[in-house]
Chains A and B, each alone.
Chain A
């Protein structure tokens, strides 16, 4: 090596003086290191997937609604139309953190309840995070008044479908974090779903099922997915099952063991 190029000098770390040719080389090297790291930061930092428009819609303010609290497949609210919410709606429910509404609502299922909280929204689907004091309670009826009655519309069958898409946890995907999908997010999605966040099926193409992209997942019998769903989360899969409509929410009832991974 020494014979092939001019002698750059001998560097001894604990001596302050560095031979000039070597010093120049090292200054250039330092500039290359800092410059290339800066360039790579910009390149990698700008080159990202679009994480979508899922949002925790705090600026919409606290939402209040009442309806029938339903346990299966995952806690949802069949919203009773009123002046504030004139359209028939079904809203998925969650609580702060990676937890389920089931604990708070365990004595209130199939009853008319008042619910308060903040919305997660993405596209044509939303979810209410029940939070705050007295945010989930049975509708109170003043003495002497007739308790309100409300019967949600029955589930409307949309037939049997074969869908290609991704199983996501609704909370992250709807805006708790961005991105809330993909393999890098798989462990988080598994943790959220196993802790109570409803799993949703996101079709590979937008609006693939009757103009909708997101479907709440359920087992074939209408209950929650079995515990071993985790292998199929966050990957592109194909599933077959019944699709039902509950107001504005589609439900996809599947046999998870028949999942085909692409």
Chain B
């Protein structure tokens, strides 16, 4: 291989030797896992239904 190509190879692989493992580790680090807390929490109960209207006038 010519010196120029040996140098280019060396440079590229120095960069990739850092970049490739870093990318892999970063990708594994951001992987999402199931939540540790409950996946459904009721924050507010529904408002109570309005009471039935009073008996017809006259009762």
Contact = CB atoms under 8 A, between A and B. Distances in A.
Interface string B39-52: 11111111100000
B28 to A, nearest CB: 13
Contacts of B43: 159-162, 240
B45 A236 contact: no
Contacts of B2: none
A204 B41 contact: no
A235 B41 CA distance: 19
A201 to B, nearest CB: 10
Contacts, number: 49
Interface residues of B, number: 14
Interface in B15-50: 32, 34-35, 37-47
Contacts of A209: 40
A158 B41 CA distance: 12
Contacts of B41: 161-163
A157 B47 CA distance: 8
A236 B40 contact: no
B14 to A, nearest CB: 24
Contacts of A221: none
A83 B28 CA distance: 53
A158 B40 CA distance: 12
Contact of A161 (B32, B37, B40): B40
A189 interface: no
B51 to A, nearest CB: 17
The contact size tier of chain A is 20 to 34
B44 A160 contact: yes
Given A157-B47, A235-B32, A208 B42 contact: no
Interface of A: 156-165, 203-205, 208-209, 235-236, 238, 240, 262
A208 B32 contact: no
Which 4 pairs from chain A and chain B are nearest by CB?
A208-B40, A204-B39, A160-B44, A157-B46
17 contacts: A157-B46, A157-B47, A158-B46, A159-B42, A159-B43, A159-B46, A162-B40, A162-B43, A163-B40, A164-B35, A203-B39, A204-B34, A204-B35, A205-B39, A205-B40, A235-B32, A238-B35
A160 B47 CA distance: 10
Contacts of B46: 156-159
Contact of A164 (B37, B42, B45): B37
Nearest to B45: A159
A159 B42 CA distance: 7
Contacts of A204: 34-35, 39
B39 A208 contact: yes
Nearest to B31: A183
Nearest to A157: B46
Contacts of A157: 46-47
A217 to B, nearest CB: 15
